[in-house]
Structure 1
Amino acid sequence: MAGDSLTGSRIRERRLMLGLRQADLARDVGISASYLNLIEHNRRRIGGKLLVTLANVLGVEPSILTDGVEATLVASLREAAAEARTPAVEIDRVDEFAGRFPGWAEVLAETHGRIGALERTVRSLSDRLTHDPHLAASLHEVLSTAAAIRSTAGILAEPGELEAEWRDRFHRNLDEDAQRLADSSRALVRFLDDSDQGVERRGIPQEEVEAFFTARGFYFAELEAGERSAQQIADAASELDSRAARKLAAAALADYETDAREMPLAILQEALGRCGVAPDVLAREFGVDLHRMLRRLAVIPEEVLGRPAGLVICDASGSILFRKPVAGFSLPRFGASCPLWPLFTALSQPGRPIRRRVHQQGRAARDSACFAISWTAEPPIFDHDPVLRAAMLILPSQLPDEPVPEDSRPVGASCRICVRRGCAARREPSILRDADGAEHAQM
């Protein structure tokens, strides 16, 4: 029996594993229970949007439903081989390996996934240690309290008798410092646990705004249709707890509102069909600044643009003001980014459009087309320094294992998690390098 003829059976097995009733699953995906019954008994073919919706509800990749675990295992092995970049790997024999040694193939695929998860955790922790003021303050409190306890204990441990008054005083200090250490340690653990569960990051406005935009998929149908204003949406957003976050979100939404009004989605989609993803051509057609077209292309639905897109906006100091992550191009949290990004090249050459193909080394990285430009955020005035901004649209290759073009330039995410050797732009050693310290920061 052909592999795709078992899709319905796999859907049924997954549903039963999750303890879902057929009627409940049908309701969740928007079809009738009788139609789902036909699908599960392989009497109706399934694909497209319905397959993706079913896979999302069942919590699996669509390929597992259509091809089965075997095909998914082979795909994982191919991905591991591609990311290892080892010429000696026999890619053409991966099917044979998975068939003859399925157990070892599972171990290799699972190890590959675990390594990827650990590297993502390292990146996340590195970003938080570098840029999270609350975490830094908590760690400082714990370390300073531990140092105070160590100092007091050292005095009490010295040979010789202390006067009773001084001994009692040191004991009180030791007890108070120990209590303070316990309280600050509990607070630190609670903060880390809350952060891991996606709870609001305690008054960090930019992260509140990023969580808000991420939750909406960076797309606001109300602004596209002109049904609500940017300020109304920002005021009603439950993800924005602080006044600073609401102010930042309202400013970003106001830009979105202006772009949607002057570059309506339906007209932009028609122009994309004629011109392709050519930001400079599209900007001229709509009579808008190029940075606004980059901003607009990054937030329209993926099915309209025809591919996923990312966006980074920074100020003249290089600090990231707004970012839309995209698979295939790692974006560190605010600041400490790779200085080789086209974003910063554009920042040094105001008004000049920059187009570059770049490639980030590391797992799951892809060749990306980047379009960048910097502009003055306000009209130029004599005797006043210009306020510069820069924006970069990121369009990663749609194939993870696609060969890297010869003209693609190597870049990183940030120095702390970049594995490139011999980079003249490196600021500090990478925490992902070998312990032998083969590469050091070049100052």
Structure 2
Amino acid sequence: MVRSFAGLRIRERRLVLGLSQTALAREAGISPSYLNLIEHNRRPVAGKVLLALARALDVPPSALGEQATLGLVAALREAAADLPVHDPETHQIEEFVGRYPGWARMISTLDQTNRELRTTVEALGDRLTHDPVLQSDMHEMLTTITAIRSTASILATVDDIEAPQRQRFTRAIHDESQRLSEVAGALTDYFDRTASSDRPPATPEEEVARILETAGYSFTQLEHGGEVEPLLDTLLPKGAAARAELRHWLTRWRNDAEAVPEAVLTDLLATPLDLTVAARKLGVGVAQLMRRLAFRQGQAPLGLIAINGAGQILLRRPLPDWPISRQMAACPLLPVFDALWQPGTTWPVDVQMPGGQSTLAICTAEIDPPHRMGERGRPSATMLIVPDSARHLFAPTDPGTVAAGPGCRVCSRTRCTARIAEPVIAHQL
């Protein structure tokens, strides 16, 4: 069973503030004996008691509750699955995160850095082998070097070359040398651009993801009909491989903002929101409204996953406590996959993770109509991930429940019938 270390975090925060148990209990409106049981993890803490303790300790409730460790636990499970040769004690991850959160964050950061660097090296190696631009430039360099060597060899070994002919050979060497210099310069610029950041993007998708994360998935320059191309020029150089994908993303962001302006969105959120009713009222798709909510800046963060008919993730907005890995496939039990079978329907589901936490997920699916007769439409599904801090934004419902996980390789539900990959973690809830 996953143990709770909320009490340990409460005790550590109390000691940092120099408070006695009696003083903290008085501030929170509970008895010192009850606080003592909480700090020794003999009593769970939630609801009003958690809010009172958080207020007395001057921290947000999420810093004391279980949500504070869930993201780290999932990240360390992923790290353990990636390097099983070291036989990490996966059954003690929760305790490690609870007792040493700083070390846990550092290990998680190092693991993520290692994954990105490894992916980058593999992608660059593949690019050196298959990139048509590099292949063309390398071929041109070898051809030019061969031409220079052949011409220089004639000049060095033939003594009776007439002056006009010798001049032509010399001119040819000069021209080929200049061409070689240009090709070498282009290759140098290519690799300089790749190495210009601490962790260069391995693929166009990775580059776009990094740009979106840096911008907070929000581009207010496009809010009132701003032009895409000037913004695109500031984000990527012309000719960049990721330019077309980023243009598509920015164009869709602008279209969503035009369909649901910020003022309209603010009015919608003034009362609990029913996505289906609101989308019909605005004349937009539910998925479009979901994207607008997820990529709204400065508000309670919402996560988002959008997939195509093949189950590939097209769009992702991760949350700190709901990591969406780029290296691993999503859990096949997430309700976004079920949504593909029921286009036109929007429904909420409580997703329960192996650690016991539950998060509201609102799912919908749609089919883009074909361009001509005889073609198939393109299905897609979108899932809005609503943390507890944002549940009040949506109309109350009685959602169903589904048990899901972070991904098959690191999920502790070893008897899951939907598993598509063997688990690495041995213990089971």
Would you say same fold, with TM above 0.5? Answer: yes
Q: Is the 8 A contact 1:342 1:354 kept in 2?
A: no
The Cα shift of 1:123 comes to 6.8
Partner amino acid for 1:279?
Answer: L
Match of residue 295, structure 1, among 273, 291, 295: 291
SS at match of 1:258: helix
Partner of 2:233: 235
Partner of 2:199: 199
Partner of 1:111: 100
SS at match of 2:241: helix
| 1:393-412 to 2 correspondences below 5 Å | 393-398=384-389, 408-412=401-405
Superposed CA offset, 1:191-220 (max 9, x none): xxx79x752223x01111111111111111
Q: Is the 8 A contact 2:351 2:402 kept in 1?
A: yes
After superposition, the Cα gap between the structure-2 partners of 1:126 and 1:359, relative to the gap in structure 1 and judged at 3 Å, is farther
After superposition, the Cα gap between the structure-2 partners of 1:283 and 1:340, relative to the gap in structure 1 and judged at 3 Å, is same
The Cα shift of 1:67 comes to 9.5
Cα distance in 2 between the residues matched to 1:357 and 1:366: 10
SS at match of 1:429: coil
Matched, 1:281 2:277: yes
The Cα shift of 1:247 comes to 0.8
Q: Is the 8 A contact 2:348 2:361 kept in 1?
A: yes
Superposed CA offset, 1:287-306 (max 9, x none): 11111111111111243xxx
Partner of 2:89: none
Superposed CA offset, 1:327-377 (max 9, x none): 221211166111111111112322222321112235xx8422111222223
Q: Is the 8 A contact 2:120 2:200 kept in 1?
A: no
SS at match of 2:269: helix
Q: Is the 8 A contact 2:330 2:407 kept in 1?
A: yes
The Cα shift of 1:109 comes to 5.6
Cα distance in 2 between the residues matched to 1:298 and 1:108: 29
Matched, 1:330 2:317: no
SS at match of 2:207: helix
The 10-residue stretch of structure 1 (319-328 or 374-383) with the greater mean CA deviation from structure 2: 374-383
After superposition, the Cα gap between the structure-2 partners of 1:256 and 1:406, relative to the gap in structure 1 and judged at 3 Å, is closer
Cα distance in 1 between the residues matched to 2:284 and 2:62: 44
Partner of 1:224: 223
Superposed CA offset, 1:61-116 (max 9, x none): xxxxx999x977x997875998799xxxxxxxxxxxxxxxxxxxxx9865244245
Superposed CA offset, 1:164-215 (max 9, x none): xxxxxxxxxxxxxxxxxxxxxxxxxxxxxx79x752223x011111111111
After superposition, the Cα gap between the structure-2 partners of 1:121 and 1:278, relative to the gap in structure 1 and judged at 3 Å, is farther
Partner amino acid for 1:348?
Answer: W
Partner amino acid for 1:352?
Answer: T
Partner of 1:190: none
Partner of 1:267: 264
- Structure 1 gaps of 5+ residues are 1-9, 11-65, 86-106, 142-193, 400-404
Partner amino acid for 1:253?
Answer: L
SS at match of 1:398: helix
Deviation >3 Å, runs of 4+: 74-85, 107-110, 115-129, 136-139, 240-244, 378-382, 405-408
Match of residue 135, structure 1, among 122, 138, 144: 122
SS at match of 1:243: coil
After superposition, the Cα gap between the structure-2 partners of 1:333 and 1:75, relative to the gap in structure 1 and judged at 3 Å, is closer
TM-score (norm 1): 0.54
| 1:10-409 to 2 correspondences below 5 Å | 111-115=100-104, 117-118=106-107, 132=119, 134-135=121-122, 198-202=198-202, 204-226=203-225, 228-238=226-236, 243-274=240-271, 276-303=272-299, 307-333=300-326, 336-362=329-355, 366-379=357-370, 381-398=372-389, 408-409=401-402
SS at match of 1:314: strand
The structure, 1 or 2, with the larger RCO (C-alpha pairs under 8 Å, 6+ apart) is: 2
Seq. identity, %: 26
Cα distance in 1 between the residues matched to 2:124 and 2:241: 21
**Paired residues, number:** 282
The 10-residue stretch of structure 1 (309-318 or 408-417) with the greater mean CA deviation from structure 2: 408-417
Q: Is the 8 A contact 1:127 1:332 kept in 2?
A: no
Q: Is the 8 A contact 2:116 2:199 kept in 1?
A: no
Partner of 1:148: none
After superposition, the Cα gap between the structure-2 partners of 1:256 and 1:78, relative to the gap in structure 1 and judged at 3 Å, is closer
After superposition, the Cα gap between the structure-2 partners of 1:81 and 1:371, relative to the gap in structure 1 and judged at 3 Å, is closer
SS at match of 2:360: strand
The Cα shift of 1:135 comes to 2.5
Partner amino acid for 2:352?
Answer: H
SS at match of 2:230: helix
Superposed CA offset, 1:144-182 (max 9, x none): xxxxxxxxxxxxxxxxxxxxxxxxxxxxxxxxxxxxxxx
After superposition, the Cα gap between the structure-2 partners of 1:383 and 1:225, relative to the gap in structure 1 and judged at 3 Å, is closer
Cα distance in 1 between the residues matched to 2:97 and 2:252: 47
Superposed CA offset, 1:107-142 (max 9, x none): 98652442454356557767887xx48527869x9x
Cα distance in 2 between the residues matched to 1:324 and 1:267: 22
Cα distance in 1 between the residues matched to 2:104 and 2:399: 29
Cα distance in 2 between the residues matched to 1:348 and 1:242: 39
Cα distance in 2 between the residues matched to 1:360 and 1:256: 31
Larger Rg: 2
After superposition, the Cα gap between the structure-2 partners of 1:125 and 1:392, relative to the gap in structure 1 and judged at 3 Å, is farther
After superposition, the Cα gap between the structure-2 partners of 1:422 and 1:125, relative to the gap in structure 1 and judged at 3 Å, is farther
Cα distance in 2 between the residues matched to 1:354 and 1:81: 28
